[in-house]
Structure 1
Amino acid sequence: MTNDGPDGVSVRGSSEPTRAIELTPEHPPARIAELAACAEREGFDVAFTSSHYFNRDPFVTLSRMTDATDEIRLGPGVVNPYETHPVKLAAQTATIDEVSDGRAVFGVGAGDRSALSNMGVERDRPLRRVLETFDVARDLWDGTTVTHEGTFTARDASLNLEPAEIPVYVGAQGPQMLRMSAKHADGALINAAHPRDLEWASDQIERGLEDRPDEHGEFEALAFASVSVAPEEDDARAAARPPVAFIAGGAADPVIDRHDIDRQAASAVSDALEDGRLTEAFDRVTPEMIDAFCIAGTTETVADRFEAALEHTDGIVVGSPLGPDLEDAIVRASEALSIASA
């Protein structure tokens, strides 16, 4: 997806779909670095590292990933500007750009409301907060001294780093965040896996692109999809249950209705998660939920789903859980992307 403006910052310099992957630091940073090296060998263009307070720190993990790789672009996917001040996020991302010789990308979003509430953090005015965060970050990366009063405050803030040009990707799901990202950011990370959701999101993005200034250049929409791939379909679908439970448990009613999922079944998953009964929540995930919220199956099945997703996006982020065997899943996901792209 592009507008007619001048060339902007992009992950790839070709018309091929972007191949990205999410590596969740639920494992030690050294392990994630190994997986990043594997992803690079398999032809992925960018590796995002997710950010949740209960996992390892994404920027420490990204630092280890830079040491293990040479070309793949790297960045948080996604951080939020509530638990960390936006100026600090800009500095952390610029540091990754420096140590990786200019390979950083910045994935930013509003954050998970329930996770933030665990820390007593209120997620107020998320749309403005995210927009102001990357506007200020861009100024800081340009070498500008910034004073800002809005959803957060920064006074005479500057970075003691060389100027950098870092692509901004907004994690988005709702209509307003999708439109805002299309108008102002370099790309969107669409939190969806099913063609029905991606088609709807694409319509919102097109509306945002109508108001995109020419000077912002090209825009890229990526499906940030939960993916589980394995030699056996049943194994892949079993591995998908935990992430699908969290997706289904937090899904808005219009999304539940879009996929004809039983609302009582979704509520049962949500209630179990809120009570900390994780095993029960995972067991309550239905086949319909897996079909709606994850791309799960064999290489061939996943390739078919990737092809359908690429009808509405410029690329795919292969997201958690990847599969029951992580290295095998990275190889199979790369193969599935090659089939889908062909």
Structure 2
Amino acid sequence: MFHPFTNPEDYTTMTTTTFDRLGIWNWERPDINDEVRYAKYAEDAGFDSVWQGESRLVRDAMSVLGAYTQVTDEVDLATGVTNCYTRNVALMAQTFSTLDELSGGRAKLGVGAWWDPLASKVGIDREQPLRRMWEYCTVTRKLLDLENVTYEGQTLSVEDIELDLVRSDAEARSVPILIGATGLTMNEMSGELVGEGIVDGVMMNYLIPPEHNEKAMAKLEEGAERRGGSLDDIDRPQLIAVSMNEDADVAIDNARNLATQYIGQQPHIRKACGIDEDLGEAVSERLGGWPADAEAIEEASELVSDDVVTNIVAAGTPEDCVERVGTYCETGCTEPVLYSLDDNVEEVIDVFAEYKAE
């Protein structure tokens, strides 16, 4: 394994930043067994959560989370995030009832509205993502509370269904639900759902600048207060991409391709970044659509400057990364969920563990 630095304790005196909570995010490591190992490693280092990505058609999150339940004892285990379309609402409730049992009550459901063109390519109509999220979370919560549910909505309908727990623990499943919110309207609605007692918070997205968090906080608070809640009621973990190396230039270069992909392929990310529209369109054109091959990504990345990369990725030396992640906490994040872009996952865990508040 590549080791960009040797002793994380060497970096503990460089910043006063501390973190009350920390998580890691796993997704598509070449060897899936490494993801299982990182989950255990993070728990041993004092981290609070492990999140499993499920964005593109790579690995499904549920199978891997099941594996995590068998090698960890204390960390929360969450999807970061799954979507509110491909699993019907009954199956989602059934799945998280099972993960709740396997983990001893440590499962969390992070759920988002997915994205095009992937959704349309598999036959999903995303014309009403806000309405879908409201209805999906509402019915899921009722099912996890072991209610019998009949619901007639605009995007989903169920009749006389409930979790059939005759032969298992028939207690309500206290599974926190967090909405993967990037757009300001989705944040506002998420605040309303927290105020209604349906969801517990949001999982804020990655590859956006900290300044976007400030706008999201205002919308979250507005939505929550409309329904009798407050911003303090809203949990706000955030996925943050980390590219760490003793050589800051190397770290930035290592993050450029991912930044390029998201700027060019996911308009909601581009909008949240405040990327110049002409640049975004130029990057998208060079990528040539979704999915893009490695050669197209490399060519398009020539358009993405260092400033753009460091605006949306915690990229640089260990001190740079810790301080940048701290900026996300200062602007609203309650728990950084770190995604190491390189194969130095354990080293990133070690460095940030040194800044964990006692």
Place the TM-score, normalised by the shorter chain, in its bin. Answer: 0.7 to 0.9
Q: Which moved more, 1:283-292 or 1:167-176?
A: 283-292
Specify whether residues 304 and 53 from structure 1 end up closer, same or farther in structure 2 by C-alpha distance, changes over 3 A only. closer
d(CA) in 2 for partners of 1:210, 1:182: 8
Q: Is the 8 A contact 1:237 1:290 kept in 2?
A: yes
Q: Which moved more, 1:181-190 or 1:67-76?
A: 181-190
- 1:270 corresponds to which residue? 284
Q: Is the 8 A contact 2:150 2:158 kept in 1?
A: yes
Q: Is the 8 A contact 2:81 2:111 kept in 1?
A: yes
- 2:121 corresponds to which residue? 118
Q: Is the 8 A contact 2:26 2:339 kept in 1?
A: yes
Q: Is the 8 A contact 2:182 2:205 kept in 1?
A: yes
Residues 1:299 and 2:318 are matched in the alignment: yes
Q: CA deviation at 1:73?
A: 0.4
Specify whether residues 320 and 118 from structure 1 end up closer, same or farther in structure 2 by C-alpha distance, changes over 3 A only. farther
Percent identical = 29
Q: CA deviation at 1:96?
A: 0.8
Q: Is the 8 A contact 1:63 1:96 kept in 2?
A: yes
Specify whether residues 280 and 215 from structure 1 end up closer, same or farther in structure 2 by C-alpha distance, changes over 3 A only. closer
Give TM-score scaled by structure 2 length. 0.82
d(CA) in 2 for partners of 1:87, 1:93: 10
For residues 1-342 of structure 1, what are the structure 2 equivalents within 5 Å? 17-150=20-153, 151-161=155-165, 162=170, 163-184=172-193, 185-192=199-206, 193-214=208-229, 218-249=233-264, 250-252=266-268, 254-256=271-273, 258=274, 261-271=275-285, 272-274=287-289, 276-282=292-298, 283-284=301-302, 285-335=304-354, 337-338=355-356
d(CA) in 2 for partners of 1:324, 1:235: 14
Query: Does the residue aligned with 1:210 lie in a helix, a strand or coil?
Result: helix
Instruction: Report the residue type matching 2:148 in the other structure.
Output: T
What residue ranges of structure 1 are gaps of 5+ in the alignment?
1-14
Q: CA deviation at 1:61?
A: 0.4
Specify whether residues 216 and 87 from structure 1 end up closer, same or farther in structure 2 by C-alpha distance, changes over 3 A only. farther
Give TM-score scaled by structure 1 length. 0.85
Q: Is the 8 A contact 1:239 1:324 kept in 2?
A: no
Q: CA deviation at 1:209?
A: 2.2
d(CA) in 2 for partners of 1:101, 1:235: 42
Q: CA deviation at 1:116?
A: 1.2
- 1:4 corresponds to which residue? none
d(CA) in 2 for partners of 1:326, 1:177: 31
Q: CA RMSD in A?
A: 2.5
- 2:5 corresponds to which residue? none
Q: How many residues align?
A: 322
Q: CA deviation at 1:128?
A: 1.4
What residue ranges of structure 2 are gaps of 5+ in the alignment?
1-17, 194-198
